[in-house]
Amino acid sequence: MIINSTELQNNFGKYLMLTAQEDIIITRNGTEIAKLTAIKEKPLEDNAQPDQVHENAPEYNYYGKKATYEEFLKLQRESDERYEYIDGEIYLLASPRTAHQIAITELLVIFHTFFQGSKCTPMVAPYDIELRRTPENINIVQPDIMVICDLEENLNEEDYYKGVPSLVVEVLSKSTRRKDLIKKLDLYMSCGVNEYWIVNPDNKEVTVYLFEDNNICNSTTFKNDEAAQSFIFEGLSAEISKIFRV
């Protein structure tokens, strides 16, 4: 991933975590000046214990282990639970909390009003979106909200959407934070999503990312009495005080 030095300064913690997935190249005035690289963990010796114990997060649980896409599809068919499949791992989606749902509802109303009469359609989870890093690397996610502008031309015979949303929204919880800020940000950026809204009920902020050429082209964080603004849809905005009214 390539980012400029200003983006790194503004979001250092996020990119520090992203180094676990790939190297981060930093540029200044268009010139590469540095690289962030993760230090590989040493393997544990026999009978040794890891330094840290990580609790399973109840709201966005890791289902168990790496799985093939076929294994994921089998689980999805046989279970009433909701799952996502990201880079070969299965994640169980549990019921969200009240602030999470209020933020989604408020944004969906704003989006529905804005896009009424246009070719773009706001959709809400649960709704499977298939994203491919490569023809073999298939991912299935359920964004909280997505704006789809090519719905009719990308519906298959079974009435499933097979395109890429123009805009995606994820509302953070304490247990989904790492997935939404790292794994899903990288997935959306790499697979053709144009804009990504990260909604944080804890600090009542919305960060909007603009993606171009598989990189972060621009980003802005909105809070307090501001209104979150879209980069790609002129006039689309959402008042922070309305999104976080509890």
For 56-101, the pLDDT digits (tens) are 333 434 444 688 999 999 988 988 888 999 999 998 887 888 999 9
pLDDT at position 63 is: 45
What are the C-alpha distances in Å from 207 to residues 105, 145, 181, 188? 18, 15, 10, 15
Look at residue 11 and tell me whether its pLDDT is greater than 80. no
**Mean pLDDT for the chain?**
85
Amino acid at 196: Y
Average pLDDT over residues 38-43: 52
pLDDT band at 33 (very low <50, low <70, confident <90, very high): confident
**Residue 45 contacts residue 29 (beta carbons within 8 Å):** no
pLDDT at position 154 is: 95
Amino acid at 178: R
pTM of the predicted protein model: 0.75
Tokens of 204: 């009542």
The total of other beta-carbon atoms located within 10 Å of residue 81's CB is 12
The total of other beta-carbon atoms located within 10 Å of residue 57's CB is 18
Domains of the chain, with CATH numbers?
Answer: 1-49 (3.40.1620), 97-243 (3.90.1570.10)
Query: Who's near 97: CB < 8 A, 6+ residues apart?
Result: 59, 173
Question: What tens digit of pLDDT does each residue of 117-138 get?
Answer: 999 999 999 999 999 999 999 9
pLDDT at position 104 is: 96
